[in-house]
Amino acid sequence: MRLLTLLRPELADWAVLALPDARTGVLRLQGGEAVGFTATVALATTAGTRLDRLLRTGNTDVTEDTRDPALAGILPHPTLRGELLALGLDQLLAVGLNARGTTLGALLLARRGGFDAEDIAFAARLAARAAIALDSARLYEERGQIATVLTSALRPPSLPEVDHLRLAARYRPAAEHIDLGGDFYDVLGSGRDWLITLGDVCGKGVEAAAVTGRTRQSIRTAAHFDRHPAALLRALNSVLYEAGTDQFVTVLCARADVAPDGGHADVELAAAGHPAPIVLRTDGHVEQLEIFGTACGMVPGIEYRTISLRLHRGDTMLMFTDGVDEAHGAQGMFGVERLLGLLPAYAGAAPDVVCEAVEQHVVEYADGRPHDDIALLAVTCGR
């Protein structure tokens, strides 16, 4: 609208921007006598008209007499045509808005006494500048939409509802102003059989998030063929190694078999260079499991081993990335021992309470600015 205001009254007594949107099939008209007028018409109704040709070619069109019935072919809204007649404006000038080989719209101008050749040339120069500004705004919007779609696709998914299991997660990227990072988690399955993964791509930000997306999809694909944690890590290791990326991935993979009554869940675990999970029992006893393995993507042909454990009703298994235990503060690293020390106070608590408490302690320890991504996933047996 600022462009239309600048044009009046030096170049025109009346001005309108005509901006088509092929995605929605709508032609937006902005401006008019009061500048603030906005209306839309269906693009299909302009097919074959002078305006349609102008929007396809980007050429200049001049209507010598605004009383001519043919005016509807270049100005498809009756309110705007009525304004021209009421104002007694003699001539309508339509100039294409062209940028990078594309016609983005048209600038429609009218003035008492009409336009001479110098006026038309000046209007064309203004239209060219306006087109560049419109094109830049369009590109910015498109890039923003692409970024939004990609961010949504790469961000950790929402957790499913699982009979007799309670799940909670926390995800905190280290990179400021970017809601993406290298940590990830995923839960998939049905009935009593659930696969729970949590991992960490070497690096932070968008680059790490791209590998994160590939890793998560590779695990989901491999799970269609073999849901055993060791087999999934073998498959993921092959995919990442053959991709030739310099980034490796640490992963913790758990498969839970939930008892029909929810009294317990048998869990099979495999790890690829990832911190082992901690089990918090209902009586406050805590234990970090012993499970090791080489990170995925570094060396071909790795065999991964598994361990088994049983979660009883109310027990919680806490999975976390190294952004938790390796968080730096004034006293050095946060450390697993500090984590083991704070968890007994949350025995029997809901998994979201456990995750929130751990995240809060870690962030406070790091003076509010953790240097690495943080991801937590808590699995509590029973409802």
Model pLDDT for residues 81-109, shown as the tens digit of each residue: 888 788 877 788 899 999 988 899 999 88
DSSP H/E element including 101:
none
Q: Are 166 and 110 found together in one domain?
A: no
326 and 349, same domain (yes or no): yes
Contact 346, 355 (CB under 8 A): no
Exposed, middle or buried: residue 225 (CB in 10 Å: 0-12, 13-18, 19+)?
Answer: exposed
The answer to whether the CB of 234 falls within 8 A of the CB of 173 is no
Q: ∠ CA(382), CA(231), CA(225), 5° rounding?
A: 85
Each residue's pLDDT tens digit, 290-311: 999 999 999 999 999 999 999 9
pLDDT band at 198 (very low <50, low <70, confident <90, very high): very high
Dist CA 138 CA 330 (whole Å)? 47
Pairing of strands 249-258, 278-280: unpaired
Q: What is the pLDDT of residues 48-78, one digit of tens each?
A: 888 899 899 998 888 887 777 777 888 888 8
Given pLDDT bands bounded at 50, 70 and 90, which one contains residue 42? confident
Q: Model confidence at 14, in pLDDT bands (50, 70, 90)?
A: confident
Angle between helices 117-154 and 205-223 (to 10 degrees): 50
For the chain, the domain total comes to: 2
Question: Do residues 253 and 376 both lie within one domain?
Answer: yes
- Domain with residue 105: its CATH number is 3.30.450.40
**In a shared domain, residues 147 and 205:** no
| DSSP conformational letter for 13 | S
Instruction: Say yes or no: 147 and 240 in one domain.
Output: no
CA atoms within 13 A on the CB side of 298: 14
Work out the average pLDDT over 180-194.
87
- Tell me, yes or no, whether 57 and 185 share the same domain: no
User: Do 357 and 315 sit in the same domain of this protein?
Assistant: yes
Q: b or e along 35-70 (b: 16 or more beta carbons within 10 Å of the residue's beta carbon)?
A: bebebebebeebeebbbbebbeebebbebeebeeee
pLDDT at 35 over 60: no
Domain check: are 115 and 197 in the same one?
Answer: no
Lowest-pLDDT range of 172-176, 211-215, 253-257, 311-315: 172-176
State whether 140 and 161 are in the same domain.
no
Residue 381 is predicted with a pLDDT of: 96
State the average pLDDT over residues 357-380.
91
136 plus 216 within the same structural domain: no
Statement to judge: residues 89 and 166 lie in one domain: no
Q: What is the mean pLDDT of residues 168-190?
A: 80
Query: Is 6's pLDDT higher than 80?
Result: no
Exposed (0-12), middle (13-18) or buried (19+): which is 140, by Cβ within 10 Å? exposed
The lowest-confidence range among 243-257, 265-279, 297-311 is 243-257
User: Using 50, 70 and 90 to split pLDDT, how confident is the model at 9?
Assistant: low
Which of 151, 186, 208 is a domain's end point?
151
Identify whether the C-beta of residue 44 lies closer than 8 Å to the C-beta of residue 21.
Answer: no
pLDDT given at position 321:
94
Q: What pTM was computed for the model?
A: 0.66
Q: Which of 128, 151, 174 is the last residue of a domain?
A: 151
Residue 336 CB neighbour total at 10 angstroms? 16
pLDDT in tens, 120-158: 898 888 889 888 988 888 887 777 666 555 666 666 778
Q: CB of 238 within 8 A of CB of 274?
A: no
Name the token pair of 323: 């952004």
pLDDT of residue 365: 92
CA 108, distance to chain mean position in Å, is 38
Q: Which domain holds residue 239?
A: 157-381
Nearby residues of 108 by Cβ (< 8 Å), 6 or more positions away: 15, 16, 17, 18, 31, 74, 75, 92, 93, 94
Nearest partner of 56 among 17, 117, 98, 15, judged by Cα:
98
CATH number of 232's domain: 3.60.40.10
Domain end marker among 151, 180, 211: 151
Neighbours of 372 (CB within 10 A): 20
Question: In sequence order, what are the beta bridge partners of 183?
Answer: 200
- 167: three-class secondary structure by DSSP: strand
Are 190 and 51 members of one domain?
A: no
Among 64-68, 310-314, 363-367, name the most confident range: 310-314
Q: What is the reported pLDDT for 144?
A: 65
Structure-token match 């998914």, residue found: 157
Number of alpha carbons in the 13 Å side-chain half-sphere of residue 244:
0
Cβ(30)–Cβ(15) below 8 Å:
no
**What is the distance between the alpha carbons of residues 229 and 256, in angstroms, rounded to a whole number?**
10
DSSP code of residue 117: H
Please state the rounded mean pLDDT for residues 32-59.
82
Which residues are within 8 A (CB) of 58 and not within 5 positions of it... i.e. 6 or more apart? 96, 97, 98, 103
